[in-house]
Amino acid sequence: MSESPEAGRGNVPEFTVTELSLRLKRSIEESFGWVRVRGEISGFKRAASGHLYFALKDSDSLLDAVCWKGQAGRLGLRPEDGMEVICSGKLTSYPGRSKYQMVVERMELAGLGALMALLEQRKQKLAAEGLFATERKRALPYLPRVIGVVTSPTGAVIRDILHRLADRFPTRVLVWPVLVQGEGAADQVARAIQGFNALPQHGLVPRPDLLIVARGGGSLEDLMAFNEENVVRAAAASTIPLISAVGHETDTTLIDFAADRRAPTPTAAAEMAVPVRLELLQDVAGLDDRLRRSMARLATDKRRQLDGLARGLRGPREQLAQAQQRFDDLAERLRYALHVGINAQRARMETRFAKLQPGLLRRETRDYRRRLDDSLARLRRAVAQRADLAGRALQQQAKLLESLSYRNVLARGYAVILDETGRAVQSAAALSPGSSIAIELRDGRRNAVVDGEARRRGGAKAGNPAQQEELF
């Protein structure tokens, strides 16, 4: 005969909710102290506190996960929704919600294929924003005075660059030391590019004319720092021309597409940065030799041209003699012209004097006076006639004005009421009680005030509105 649940109830230990939750938490943590879980990131969220919250899922199940702030900065990659990863950590429970979760301490991409898919997706996104556009590329300076290099200060890369620059054209180099792989490398590279661009033009630290971002070869995971968005955006936003020299010739990173030039190796970047000094000196020497030969040839040609022109010139004595002869000729012509001109003027004056006789002048004067008197008489008659006509017209207008004047109406017993502005009042509605008015009669004007009360005339009958009017 089986024992009923009620019979054994006294033997079962009793737990509080907190006690049971803590036992479950310890049991899970002891059973799964360290696990590696592969799945796709879903619902990724970075809290204001810096903690990362997300879930790992596959086709059938979902596991909540959390990465604390202190560990999130050391993951080595930036989690995103849809990214397939392998997370390492421990399982625990969250008593506040009765659920278990994974505390992630490490994270890596799940395979090369997933990493390549992530890079391709990121590449398409940045290309759509125009960061890889050809028109953004700038020409490299021919002979930079200062070159800024962003790389590790202890690796072989910086030694190769400095050695190659010294061989080709010794140039001042500023090195901004950074990590080139691992946690924090991307942030350091981005800040180095931005730091070089932030240098003032004439500050204590000279601003580079050219930047080189360099790293040696490595696996795709080793080069991931140069595929991060912040590095690519910093390279695209750089106002200083930038050469990307990351990895070997077969390695390709996203910074290569944003840079102004891509070098297959760091050594090749140094070769792109400066010309060969000896070749430049030879070119200058060749140009100097060509210039000297050209100047000598030009001087010879000018000398020959001057000799040819000199042969066509007459001597100074001959030119002076011709000028003296021309002066003598002009002086002789001047004396003759003056003699002829004086004789001609004398003849004209004698002709004029012959015409100036007293009798002729008196006769012409009398004729002019007679014509003037006739003109004055005609003018006086015309003015008198015009004044007579104007006077008659004025008299007619005065009579017409007098006949139309309102004063004739006032003489018959009427009056004109004027308002305060002096205008005639044409309607009783235009007047309000208390208004000042003026009443103009035949023999003068009197001022008045409107009281607004209606009064009856003595001869008007009560109850007959037609015979009533307002009096002022």
The vertex-158 CA angle with 157 and 160, nearest 5°, equals 65
Query: What is the distance of C-alpha 112 from the center of its chain?
Result: 46
Q: Is the pLDDT of residue 370 over 80?
A: yes
pLDDT at residue 418, rounded to an integer: 84
pLDDT of residue 468: 37
Q: Is the pLDDT of residue 304 over 60?
A: yes
Q: What is the pLDDT, as a whole number, of residue 144?
A: 94
Proportion of the chain above pLDDT 90, given as a percent? 27
pLDDT digits (tens, 9 = 90+) for 23-47: 888 888 777 878 899 888 889 998 8
Q: Looking at residue 314, what is its pLDDT?
A: 67
Q: Which residues contact 313 (CB under 8 A, 6 or more apart)?
A: none
Question: Which amino acid is residue 201, in one-letter code?
Answer: Q
How far apart are alpha carbons 187 and 179 in whole angstroms?
9
Averaged pLDDT, 313-330:
78
Alpha-carbon distance of 255 to 243, in angstroms, equals: 9
Q: Which of 81-95, 310-324, 398-412 has the highest mean pLDDT?
A: 81-95
Please tell me the predicted confidence (pLDDT) of residue 458. 45
Amino acid at 362: R
Nearest to 162 by CA among 226, 212, 222, 225: 212
At residue 368's C-alpha, the angle toward residues 365 and 372, to 5°, is: 140
Average pLDDT over residues 371-400: 88
Average pLDDT over residues 293-297: 91
pLDDT band for position 457 (cuts 50, 70, 90)? very low
Q: Check whether 406 has a pLDDT greater than 50.
A: yes
SS3 288: helix
> Three-state SS for 337?
helix
- Residues near 236 by beta carbon (within 8 Å), at least 6 away in sequence: 131, 132, 136, 258
Residue 350: which of 360, 342, 339, 340 has the closest Cα? 342
- Quote the pLDDT of residue 114: 66
**pLDDT tens per residue across span 444-453:** 888 888 886 6
Instruction: Pick from 74-83, 200-209, 405-414 the range whose average pLDDT is largest.
Output: 200-209
φ/ψ bin of 449: left (φ > 0), alpha (ψ from -120 to 50), beta (otherwise) = beta
What would the DSSP string read from start to end of 80-133?
-TT-EEEEEEEEEEETTTTEEEEEEEEEEESSHHHHHHHHHHHHHHHHHTTTT-
What are the phi and psi torsion angles at 265 (to 5°)? -145, 160
When pLDDT is cut at 50, 70 and 90, the band that residue 66 belongs to is very high
> Highest mean pLDDT: which of 48-57, 243-252, 401-410?
48-57
Question: Which tokens belong to 242?
Answer: 């930038």
Sheet of 444-449: strands edge to edge? 416-418, 436-441, 444-449
Handedness of CA 278, 281, 285, 286 (dihedral sign): positive
* In the predicted structure, residue 454 carries a pLDDT above the cut 70: no
Is residue 437 within 8 Å of 448, Cβ to Cβ? yes
User: If pLDDT is split at 50, 70 and 90, which confidence band does 283 have?
Assistant: confident
Is a pLDDT exceeding 70 seen at residue 97? Answer: yes
- pTM recorded for the entire structure: 0.46
| CA 401 from centre of chain | 75
Higher pLDDT, 346 or 454: 346
Label residue 440 by pLDDT band (50, 70, 90).
Answer: confident
Q: What is the mean pLDDT of residues 92-120?
A: 79
Q: Mean pLDDT of all residues in the chain?
A: 83
Per-residue pLDDT band for 412 (boundaries 50, 70, 90) equals confident
pLDDT given at position 399:
81
The residue that leads in pLDDT, 98 or 424, is 424
Distances (CA, A) of 304 to 68, 264, 308, 312: 91, 57, 6, 13
163-211 per-position pLDDT tens digit: 999 989 989 999 999 999 887 889 999 999 999 999 998 889 999 999 9
The tens digit of pLDDT for each residue in 329-345 reads 888 888 888 888 888 88
| pLDDT over 70 percentage in the chain | 90
What's the pLDDT tens digit per position in 131-151? 999 999 999 998 999 999 999
Residue 315 backbone phi and psi in degrees, to 5: -70, 160
Strand partners for 418: 424, 438
Q: What is the CA radius of gyration of the chain?
A: 59
